[in-house]
A and B are shown apart, each in its own frame.
Chain A
Amino acid sequence: EAGVAQSPRYKIIEKRQSVAFWCNPISGHATLYWYQQILGQGPKLLIQFQNNGVVDDSQLPKDRFSAERLKGVDSTLKIQPAKLEDSAVYLCASSALLAKNIQYFGAGTRLSVL
């Protein structure tokens, strides 16, 4: 089966600009996650969707970050405006509804904010 697809792979922007990341989960996976991984740290969960509803967004900086999964399939994560400290790898993962703890990760988008 095809894995979790993410684009772009790399993005370089200047601070205060906007950026968006896209994720297409494994077909049929109801649960989708966005993580932020800063260099030297483990992944930090930003938001978790089940179908098109938000399950958990307690660690999402809502003043600048937003995410949507309108049709319950693919998802976008947006940062507006970006700060230097947003430089990180943004990982998307998905899991099946009956196996929520088995997450499949995408390759990630590496964001550099200058």
Chain B
Amino acid sequence: AQRVTQPEKLLSVFKGAPVELKCNYSYSGSPELFWYVQYSRQRLQLLLRHISRESIKGFTADLNKGETSFHLKKPFAQEEDSAMYYCALSRTGNQFYFGTGTSLTVIP
């Protein structure tokens, strides 16, 4: 069975500190991994995908197939990064599975 695990429901960091949001997955094939973000009073939106290997708003995420992880990282957190972050997995564009989410608070 496919599963996405985000072990931290809440995460607080100080402004300027590094931040890492953890995501582990279980899947027997080659999944596509994503991070979605929901800012306060806004819609859920795509932050980044592992296949694009890009940095969005200073965030990066590397797919580690050996550890089945896709952690989201940013070297210097900003107050505007405070939001709910969801890790998600897809099988070839179908059957999307989301984690339970991590609420990130950046303390000024």
Task: Point out residues on A near B: beta carbons under 8 Å.
Answer: 3, 31, 33, 35, 40-45, 48, 55-56, 58, 91, 93, 100-108
Contacts and interface: CB of A to CB of B under 8 A. Distances in A.
Size category, B interface: 20 to 34
A45 B86 contact: no
B40 interface: no
B59 interface: no
Contact of B49 (A42, A91, A101, A106): A101
Given A101-B90, A101-B93, A106 B100 contact: no
Contacts of A41: 100-101
Nearest to B9: A40
B45 interface: yes
Contacts, number: 50
B44 A91 contact: yes
Interface of B: 4, 6, 32, 34, 43-46, 49, 51, 86, 88, 90, 93-101
B46 A42 contact: no
A103 B94 contact: no
A44 B98 contact: yes
